[in-house]
Structure 1
Amino acid sequence: MLIIIGHVSYDEIVNASGEQSIIPSGAGYTGALGASMIQKDVGLVSQIGTDYDMSHLARLGIDLTGVNQRADGLTTRFYLNYRYNDPLKRDFEAQFNVGSDISPVDIPVHYVESASHVHLATMPPEQQEPFIHFFRNHSPSTNISIDTIEQFIHQNPKQVMENFIQCDTIFVDRREIAMLPPSLIQDREIILKLGGEGALYMNGAQRIQVPTRFIENITDKTSSGDILAGVFLANRAKGLDPELNLRIGCEIATKSIEAFGVDHLLKETYRPWQERV
């Protein structure tokens, strides 16, 4: 079973024309959605408020036992304003609300017993650390992967590095990998996200780089890395080789940037990769 741990939230978006929309988001949700497109043996750990519409999660067809819907707080909200008419520039604000309380207490017993892989989606590093400690103590053989953002490396580099050292697989982009010591890179499985150039798989001396198709009109790149992680990990659980796995992950991640959010990926017309898996 693949376990994904992270925020389930709403994005409140204002586009360059001033139009407003609210869409499901969060690295936990996005990673789980990507994984659900490949297989359904996926569990999600998160916290949400009663203001969250559970139908967003239910349609993924995965195990939601680890999602704690609380009556005493609000769901995580991210506010994004694309007033610059540039998908790479935006104003951003986060209100984590109950998402700040996600902890190992939320993990169902059968997740621990069934987990072959645990993915820690992007969260503050001090929130990721207790999960690493929990699984290393209760399920030592479980493979653990982790993702982060450059901001967290700057804010708390010591905790980020300590987390990375305890994990087996690391998802990073160019700017993030430049901050890592060479010894850490050499000793870990690394998936390096290269944006419009695709991705690079690194494991010891092994290097596999795959391209992605060119997208002229980028709408929203926010969740592409989380989609890549979810797809890659779900396919690996099925035994897919790294090169084909990365190609499929890049294809789906690239498709995700053509619209705000990721729910458009669930449309049947966007799923030709299933024929190859």
Structure 2
Amino acid sequence: MLDVVTLGETMVMMNPVEAGSLKYIYDYKKQLGGAESNFAIGLARLGHQVGWFSKLGKDPHGEYIKSFIRGEGVDTSQVKFTSKAPTGLYFKERRELGESNVYYYRHDSAASRMKPEDLSEDYIAQAKYLHLTGITPALSDSCHKTILEAIEIANKNNVKVSLDPNLRLKLWSKERMREVMLDLFKQADIVMPGIEEGEILLGTDDPEEIADQILDLGAEIVIVKLGAEGALVANKEAKEEVAGYSVERVVDSIGAGDGFAAGFISGQLRGANIVDSTKLANAVGAFATTVIGDVEGLPTKEEVEVFTGQKEAITR
């Protein structure tokens, strides 16, 4: 039995060994990145049973991705391979000033060819949660249909749906993005937008207004991410702002949102209330920023307990 099932594209990531413009970077470290697999690995490290599904190219990059994710304790039994399209690739550009940039080489990738027929109802039905992001429906029409089919399967089998918008403006127009994402908000039980995502999709950067609008669309729980300040968590009964955790030096912020989502769902799986689940989400998200790479900084349950002061670190 799995606690959570998720699906989406994971790509090989070329991560520069130093910060600066890619025009002047010559050395890279090969890693991987994908919002859904980041989330899956984060949950697995926190002690949960997670399954991740995707379609990969029948190439060395696809084999590397599957092996790495499986090695992190995530079930990959439903992953499919195709020789008709390659595994996606992207380059990360890290800056000391400002946000990191990402350059994608994913057009017509293997994952963009996912289709509803690739899904196993039995696989999704065994889980407590189905976790999705707004990246997958942006990849292709067939990926969008696959997401909708997965939600239908989840609803049919009483599986809760969590959604992290994870907007990728490079993949589609704002008009199409709003149309699809607002429809997904209506179908999700838990929605985890950031402030900027709320402004793009809903026309407001007020956390309470963002939460209210998404709750009105049908979600049961909304967590609005506020960056270093923490998050606002809300349901129909109450709203509460939950303070974040300070980090002395942010090394790499990409992947922190996926860690946040993993932390919140972990709390829910353990029976915590929405405020305590948000505290855990803040801790995991903050911890993830301390290491270069999308998943390398995601903590174990014990590391979170030490980080938040619940347990004393024993180093010698």
TM range (shorter): 0.7 to 0.9
Matched, 1:86 2:73: no
Task: Flag as ranges the 4+ runs of structure 1 deviating above 4 A.
Answer: 266-270, 274-277
- 2:215 is aligned to 185
- Hey, what's the Cα distance between the residues in 2 that align with 1:78 and 1:226? 18
- 1:130 is aligned to 146
Structure 2 residue ranges without an equivalent (≥5): 203-209, 312-316
Give percent identity, aligned residues only: 18
Q: Give CA deviations for 1:197-243 in whole Å, capped at 9, x if unaligned.
A: 11121112321322222224222212111111122213312322222
The structural deviation recorded for 1:128 is 4.1
TM-score (norm 2): 0.77
Q: Give CA deviations for 1:5-55 in whole Å, capped at 9, x if unaligned.
A: 112222112342534222111112101011112233211111222323133
Paired letter, 2:267: N
Paired letter, 2:68: H
Change (3 A) 1:91 1:27: closer
Change (3 A) 1:86 1:103: farther
The structural deviation recorded for 1:193 is 0.9
Change (3 A) 1:264 1:170: same
The answer (yes or no) to whether the contact 2:13–2:33 under 8 Å persists in 1 is yes
Structure 1 residue ranges without an equivalent (≥5): none
Matched, 1:119 2:121: no
- 1:206 is aligned to 238
Change (3 A) 1:107 1:4: same
Bigger relative CO (Cα 8 Å, ≥ 6 apart)? 1
Matched, 1:43 2:51: yes
| Greater strand content | 1
- 1:258 is aligned to 290
The answer (yes or no) to whether the contact 1:45–1:106 under 8 Å persists in 2 is no
| Selected match of 1:249 from 272, 281, 287 | 281
RMSD over aligned CA atoms reads 2.8
The structural deviation recorded for 1:149 is 3.5
Structure 1 residues 164-179: aligned runs within 5 Å: 164-178=185-199, 179=201
Q: How many residues align?
A: 276
| Selected match of 1:55 from 67, 72, 76 | 67
Aligned to 2:37, what secondary structure does the other structure show?
Answer: helix
The answer (yes or no) to whether the contact 1:5–1:120 under 8 Å persists in 2 is yes
TM-score (norm 1): 0.86
- Hey, what's the Cα distance between the residues in 2 that align with 1:8 and 1:194? 26
The structural deviation recorded for 1:121 is 2.5
Paired letter, 2:40: A
